[in-house]
Structure 1
């Protein structure tokens, strides 16, 4: 830059001689001033550095400093990238992993419970639960007293009971307070006689959750039937081991944290062979503690273990008293089918409309049969028998009594048995043994049979387990 003093005076355009306007006519100054930009000749430039011809320490130092700076910059960038990726690995993948575990668990339960668990499935063509399921009549409350009357008598009494004062509870809403109720419901006890639909209700509840139709506030449903718990009743293990034993897909035991809502379903308390010492069992509050299955059950029920979890227990009436009233927040009773639900079931179960109408008409003509249709499993028996008899061209004697209905059912089952097994023992021999078992246990007032009871009647439990048809259905 030039200073002001070194600059030429500015041209005055209106002050006389206009020759000064043209700078080409200006006189060159005697002593030239340096230009703002100048170029050096080759001779005036420094000689280029010869890297191989002398001391290159200056260049080496410069390059070394440059390399160090580049390395520091790269290291800093890598550290920032790692921090960002680490943060992403800790947050996003963990959340996604938890959701994947939940979805995978749902898919397994959906696959397990989507097919109907009643009767004998048609070979290669299982019945889907959603296609045939009929809503059951479930009410809140129920007597807390033990009813030792035979269950068939209880069924008849229930069919005469007035529904005027009943409080219906939809199956998917059993953990939801009724309007006007302000209470938290943690433990639900559902009662009902054999074959009334307790297990099917559980199955439908789980399937609706797995298909994301209801109760999506629950993260994990863990069905633990007493029938299966009996098989490990003598083992000592932790709660985490117990869950992993039944649900191998659950390997991340962070599900026991309070942010996850767990629902345990214990189906079939009447089948439980595990002693429930609710008063004497030691207190257990840690999922990692090694203890007995009995201690886990009692501490879950009492709320010492996983108090934020939810419990659903189903039982036949005679066994329901094992759970103290103070440990139960709601009691419900499965009352089976009312009259409209009976008809709905047969129209779903019997695909031919004309055959379904004839089946319903015949059942209504017999008071005892129509009362027994209060029980869903009897509806299945009746549909199995009448669909075959009414559907045959020749026809035959149509059963009008319970004895006739069961006789035809046994005949159908023995025919199924002959297709899949070859046994030396005649059908008549096995039926006589089963009749002896039923009569003896009826005299004793027993509703549940055990292995020693079968042995008294000459029935080998290992043999009848493969006796397709008759025994598999009765032992179910």
Structure 2
């Protein structure tokens, strides 16, 4: 299973894989690769096929070749877009089917194929957005990968390739880096394309003018560009002609209504009948056509649907005073219920109640559309203006009150992005002043200030190279706020000294590091009192093949779990470098149990370890047989093993000495 957010490149990845196979460049162990999309399978919801018939239906070449059995072939089935599946996949009640030539519903067919009941020799590759991944039982998934999109150098590379003029490209890159909300979104390739489309048009039409700084402003310009394209391409108008006409306004109203209603239902795919009133905006929709199937459409990116949905809510309110964010609309409402403040407050409440955050970006756009400056960009589409500056101030105050509540990290972070869309940075400035004063470490921060601090760390103009929690009144609460935020930056140095970290925070920390560990080289956990399971979590982190940690420090008392021992472990200075690494385990009172727990990750990554210090422990030769496997590994680079109390020189030589290759590798054995 491959996971990733909308527009991140999952489909392109499967297409590249298939193309490389078809051209004979890679994956030649496969006899057949059959790529499907759930969009085209949805159309067959009411029909029945056998597995062979389904393949013949989509890939008639196999039928023409007389292939009616796939048991003797290496076959890969690709199912792209599980999040778009409208088939009732029931892994509990579906009857077992093992005959590839027996017809059944497409849903039952897929369920049995994924279960491994049908054609168990086949390989399956499913792509999905993260929220839909749990539709497939965990026992049916052997491996999970994640597409994360562009890293910072790749973002820059994209714009330099798109804009060949070096000066122009540098200006655009610099602008995006200064606007962190844009820079964060640019990890999504489709958003890079939207941004480039807008900036290319603006640089042509107004040299030296100010470029969009917020998401709302960027998407308004994108909509205007599409209106221009439609005017010229389909209405045969001139570029200088007004791009909003009564006809296009009506089309936008229909398009926005479709976007909003389907967003509420969680629908991302539309059929041709859904678009009868929406007209054609060539680069807003993407058409997908399955073999012999009806046309299906989707917005080029979920964020476009979210923007148009927000525009629909805004247009509806200013034209009819109808608040679409209220659950029930009373026929006769009070004036205060028809105020813009009520609209925005109800939208904030609804977004906070969303369990999967599906209204987060929608909320940013809706609040951004409340600004007069953004409304002026839509002059011609908007015939009336909406809220006043007083309304915006009330909305800002309401959001600040919500931030001061005990919200999950991702919710509070999104509310700060909302404040950005409203051009309010007062809460961030407040905490920045405290940071500049140097008094932060002596003050107890409020929840709102903690949220502001996390937002500052995440949206800093430069990547956060070092995070020292002690500077911020080091506490477990602060750690959990920082490391569970969805947009946290990669760290190369993380210091969590004397933070009273518990087993729970250690587990959360390790989970976060496993997701984003590629740049972390130093982790300092000194003066914490982690329980036995906390240490085991850290061992699991070291065990990861992607771990690039060079230095792990801890002087704390670790209690490792054991039924027979009460082991106290002091990890005074351990390093797992690549390629050179030192591991110091002095004064640890290590027992056989402790040694097993700590040596396990070293066995997984033996090539990184060159120096192992086990002095001042009470280990006997018989207690550390695990080390023999470590040293004898053909990948081992161990050069120095410092003395182990209770080991005689003869017992050490007996364990490691007879092998000349091992003696050659061991430069010193003290």
**Please, what TM-score do these two structures have when normalized by structure 2?**
0.39
Root mean square deviation, CA, Å: 2.8
Q: Secondary structure at the match of 2:88?
A: coil
Which residue in the other structure is 2:449 paired with?
none
> What is the distance in 1 between the residues matched to 2:123 and 2:221?
43
> What is the distance in 2 between the residues matched to 1:472 and 1:254?
34
Q: Is the 8 A contact 2:35 2:78 kept in 1?
A: yes
Structure 1 residue 464 and structure 2 residue 278: aligned? yes
For residue 218 of structure 1, the aligned residue among 14, 27, 30 is 30
Query: 1:14-29 alignment to 2 at 5 Å?
Result: none
Q: Secondary structure at the match of 2:61?
A: coil
Query: 1:74-113 alignment to 2 at 5 Å?
Result: none
Per the TM alignment, residue 222 of structure 1 is displaced from its structure 2 partner at its CA by: 0.6
Which residue in the other structure is 1:287 paired with?
100
Per the TM alignment, residue 350 of structure 1 is displaced from its structure 2 partner at its CA by: 3.1
Per the TM alignment, residue 363 of structure 1 is displaced from its structure 2 partner at its CA by: 0.8
| Aligned CA distance change for structure 1 residues 204 and 354 (closer, same or farther; 3 Å) | farther
Which residue in the other structure is 1:354 paired with?
167
Structure 1 residue 428 and structure 2 residue 428: aligned? no
| Aligned CA distance change for structure 1 residues 441 and 259 (closer, same or farther; 3 Å) | closer
Q: Secondary structure at the match of 2:95?
A: coil
Higher-RCO chain (CA-CA 8 Å, sequence separation at least 6): 1
Larger gyration radius, structure 1 or structure 2 = 1
> What is the distance in 1 between the residues matched to 2:57 and 2:262?
35
Q: Is the 8 A contact 2:4 2:10 kept in 1?
A: yes
For residue 199 of structure 1, the aligned residue among 11, 14, 32 is 11
> What is the distance in 1 between the residues matched to 2:79 and 2:173?
35
> What is the distance in 2 between the residues matched to 1:409 and 1:370?
17
Deviations 1:279-312 (A, max 9, x none): 2222222221111111110011001111111111
Q: Is the 8 A contact 2:33 2:76 kept in 1?
A: yes
| Aligned CA distance change for structure 1 residues 347 and 214 (closer, same or farther; 3 Å) | farther
For residue 20 of structure 2, the aligned residue among 203, 208, 217 is 208
> What is the distance in 2 between the residues matched to 1:400 and 1:237?
52
Query: 1:245-264 alignment to 2 at 5 Å?
Result: 245-251=57-63, 252=65, 254=67, 256-264=69-77
Which residue in the other structure is 2:55 paired with?
243
Q: Is the 8 A contact 1:465 1:471 kept in 2?
A: no
Per the TM alignment, residue 278 of structure 1 is displaced from its structure 2 partner at its CA by: 1.6
Q: Secondary structure at the match of 2:99?
A: coil
Query: 1:445-456 alignment to 2 at 5 Å?
Result: 446-449=265-268
| Aligned CA distance change for structure 1 residues 334 and 275 (closer, same or farther; 3 Å) | same
Per the TM alignment, residue 439 of structure 1 is displaced from its structure 2 partner at its CA by: 5.1
Q: Secondary structure at the match of 2:86?
A: coil
> What is the distance in 2 between the residues matched to 1:348 and 1:258?
46
> What is the distance in 2 between the residues matched to 1:302 and 1:413?
45
Per the TM alignment, residue 383 of structure 1 is displaced from its structure 2 partner at its CA by: 1.1
Q: Is the 8 A contact 2:94 2:108 kept in 1?
A: yes
Per the TM alignment, residue 255 of structure 1 is displaced from its structure 2 partner at its CA by: 7.0
Q: Is the 8 A contact 2:3 2:130 kept in 1?
A: yes
For residue 297 of structure 1, the aligned residue among 86, 93, 110 is 110
> What is the distance in 2 between the residues matched to 1:438 and 1:257?
42
Per the TM alignment, residue 376 of structure 1 is displaced from its structure 2 partner at its CA by: 1.1
Which residue in the other structure is 2:229 paired with?
416
**Please, what TM-score do these two structures have when normalized by structure 1?**
0.54
Per the TM alignment, residue 475 of structure 1 is displaced from its structure 2 partner at its CA by: 2.6
| Aligned CA distance change for structure 1 residues 466 and 406 (closer, same or farther; 3 Å) | closer
Q: Is the 8 A contact 2:42 2:85 kept in 1?
A: yes
Q: Secondary structure at the match of 2:203?
A: helix
> What is the distance in 2 between the residues matched to 1:216 and 1:261?
10
| Aligned CA distance change for structure 1 residues 345 and 451 (closer, same or farther; 3 Å) | closer
Structure 1 residue 475 and structure 2 residue 299: aligned? yes
| Aligned CA distance change for structure 1 residues 253 and 313 (closer, same or farther; 3 Å) | farther
Q: Is the 8 A contact 2:3 2:127 kept in 1?
A: yes
Q: Secondary structure at the match of 1:223?
A: strand
Deviations 1:367-398 (A, max 9, x none): 11001101111011011111222245645431
Deviations 1:74-106 (A, max 9, x none): xxxxxxxxxxxxxxxxxxxxxxxxxxxxxxxxx
Q: Secondary structure at the match of 2:76?
A: strand
For residue 320 of structure 1, the aligned residue among 119, 129, 133 is 133
Unpaired runs of at least 5, structure 1: 1-188
Farther-moved stretch of structure 1 (272-281 vs 427-436): 427-436
> What is the distance in 2 between the residues matched to 1:416 and 1:432?
18
Per the TM alignment, residue 413 of structure 1 is displaced from its structure 2 partner at its CA by: 1.0
Deviations 1:408-466 (A, max 9, x none): 11111112222343598633333344444555666x4x5434669x9xxxx94234375
Structure 1 residue 233 and structure 2 residue 45: aligned? yes
> What is the distance in 1 between the residues matched to 2:204 and 2:184?
23
Which residue in the other structure is 1:277 paired with?
90
What is the number of residues matched between the two proteins?
281
Q: Secondary structure at the match of 1:297?
A: helix
Q: Secondary structure at the match of 1:363?
A: helix
Q: Is the 8 A contact 1:465 1:472 kept in 2?
A: no
Which residue in the other structure is 1:371 paired with?
184
> What is the distance in 1 between the residues matched to 2:54 and 2:102?
11
- 4+ runs deviating over 6 angstroms: none
Deviations 1:196-229 (A, max 9, x none): 1111111222222222222111121111100111
Q: Secondary structure at the match of 2:276?
A: helix
Query: 1:372-387 alignment to 2 at 5 Å?
Result: 372-387=185-200
Query: 1:117-156 alignment to 2 at 5 Å?
Result: none
For residue 306 of structure 1, the aligned residue among 105, 116, 119 is 119
Q: Secondary structure at the match of 1:244?
A: helix
